[in-house]
Amino acid sequence: MIKILLLGSTGSIGTSTENCIRRYRDQFSLVGISVNRRIESALNQINEFSVSHISVGTDDAYNQFPRDQYSSVTLYKGDEGLLQMAEELDYDVLVNALVGSVGFAPTVAALKRGKKVALANKESLVVGGEVIARVMKEFGGTLLPIDSEHSAILQCLNGEESKTIESMTVTASGGPFRELPSDQFSKISVETALKHPTWAMGPKITIDSSTLMNKGFELIEAHHLFDISFDQLKVVVHPQSIIHSMVTFTDGAVMAQCGLPDMELPIQYALTYPKRLPITSPRLDLATLGSLTFFEPDYNRFPCLNLCIEAGRAGGTVPAVLNASNEIAVELFLNRKIAYVDIAKIVSEACELHTRQDALSLEQIISVDRETRSLVREKYGR
């Protein structure tokens, strides 16, 4: 029985994880969950999976929780609660499906205990990839990607020697503005930015996908997960999202992992890695599909992609600034305080103004994260 702690249990990754647990109830159990404020959905999960621990994000949610009815359930609160659960509970895998850099501390806590972390929270690796690498060296622990692209790469690497890897290509759907002329970007509304062509996800990652910030994050994520240089990392736009990513080897062979877009595959693969368990979803039929298309990404219309590559190359505390300024900029855009094109401008400015330091510890990264958030909020959040 694999005991799962699921942080971010009611989002799109959380509910897909639920489906995986439901599919193999004899192999998976859910010991703890976290929600920001969706108490109703959390109670359904507690009832269905006999969850014994829950952390809630807000004071309101904490007060709303029916403690009398659920006296056997241990209740935690806030960022501290997430960390406590990762540090204290008895689990085998942490599925980290939190949104934003709040996921970083629980990832580190789980790895410090030598646990397996199935990571959907890419911000953990973006802000703290160097710290995480050191923690894993010292304490062990296993990091498995839940991102479809990185799961694809992991699958392509099965049985291969790392010295035979020449490059990795991450595919991108291109988002809803793939064909939008550059003079139209200043008019992009919140509503149009929230419509992703292939994946249904939460608002933060949907905006990140539309700016290609998400793809840039994925390059940083790949750099840390697979210990590969930015020179060996490529992006290709592939609107159908059928090839989830590929690896080129030194003999010219290219391995690609394909399939219909479905997050349950990467989630379940991370939970059972290196084994596979059946999923009876619709199958890929290439003849019906007819054709797949590929394009070079447009770095001018999507400046966030280059911002990520530059921040990733700089390393140290710069990626934490990149991420924090983006989190606040996206929040401000969603709250209609800034224009769509301001997201890239704000991130670029925050990275430029920052004086790079070597990444030393979790505490330092968290303090850079907080500083950047308040700087950006003060300057643009009125």
**Least distance (Å) between residue 205 CB and Mg ion:** 8
**Least distance (Å) between residue 119 CB and Mg ion:** 12
Span near Mg ion by CB under 5 A; candidates 4-12, 141-149, 240-248, 357-365? 141-149
Residue with Cβ nearer Mg ion (91 or 217):
217
**Least distance (Å) between residue 97 CB and Mg ion:** 13
Tokens of 221: 């994520």
Distance (Å, whole) CA 38 – CA 26: 27
Task: Looking at residues 251 to 290 of the shown chain, list those that interact with Mg ion (rule: CB under 5 A).
Answer: none
Closest CA to 368 of 380, 345, 350, 382: 350
**Least distance (Å) between residue 30 CB and Mg ion:** 24
**Least distance (Å) between residue 305 CB and Mg ion:** 14
Residue with Cβ nearer Mg ion (123 or 149):
149
Span near Mg ion by CB under 5 A; candidates 146-154, 156-164, 239-247, 349-357? 146-154
Q: At residue 376, what is the residue type?
A: V
**Least distance (Å) between residue 149 CB and Mg ion:** 5
Q: Provide the H-helix boundaries in 35-121.
A: 39-49, 59-64, 78-88, 104-112
Give the DSSP letter string of 253-297.
Answer: -EEEEE-SS-THHHHHHHHHTT------PPPP-HHHH-----B--
Q: What is the dihedral of CA 210, 372, 234, 253, to 10 degrees?
A: -110
Tokens of 230: 């930015």
Span near Mg ion by CB under 5 A; candidates 145-153, 160-168, 190-198, 317-325? 145-153
Residue with Cβ nearer Mg ion (130 or 149):
149
Residue with Cβ nearer Mg ion (139 or 230):
230
Determine, following the binding rule CB under 5 A, whether residue 147 of this chain makes contact with Mg ion: yes
Size of site (CB under 5 A) for Mg ion: 2
Residue with Cβ nearer Mg ion (135 or 212):
212
Residue with Cβ nearer Mg ion (130 or 147):
147
Task: Looking at residues 149 to 168 of the shown chain, list those that interact with Mg ion (rule: CB under 5 A).
Answer: 149
Task: Looking at residues 292 to 321 of the shown chain, list those that interact with Mg ion (rule: CB under 5 A).
Answer: none
Determine, following the binding rule CB under 5 A, whether residue 221 of this chain makes contact with Mg ion: no
Distance (Å, whole) CA 372 – CA 367: 9
Span near Mg ion by CB under 5 A; candidates 140-148, 284-292, 322-330, 353-361? 140-148
**What is the tally of helices (H) and strands (E) in the chain?**
16, 11
**Least distance (Å) between residue 245 CB and Mg ion:** 9
Counting Cβ atoms within 10 Å, is residue 104 exposed (0-12), middle (13-18) or buried (19+)? buried
**Least distance (Å) between residue 319 CB and Mg ion:** 17
Determine, following the binding rule CB under 5 A, whether residue 130 of this chain makes contact with Mg ion: no
| Residue pair 366/360 in contact by the 8 Å Cβ criterion | no
Span near Mg ion by CB under 5 A; candidates 28-36, 83-91, 144-152, 345-353? 144-152
Q: Which residues of 21-56 are buried (b: 16+ CB within 10 A; e: fewer)?
A: beeeeeebbbbbbbbbbbbebbbebbeebebbbbbb
Residue with Cβ nearer Mg ion (143 or 332):
143
**Least distance (Å) between residue 366 CB and Mg ion:** 25
Q: In angstroms, what CA-CA distances link 23 with 268, 278, 320, 354?
A: 10, 9, 37, 47
- How many Cβ atoms sit within 10 Å of the Cβ of residue 165? 19
Tokens of 141: 């622990």
Span near Mg ion by CB under 5 A; candidates 130-138, 147-155, 162-170, 266-274? 147-155
DSSP state of 142: E
Residue number with the smallest Cβ distance to Mg ion: 147
Binding site for Mg ion (CB under 5 A): 147, 149
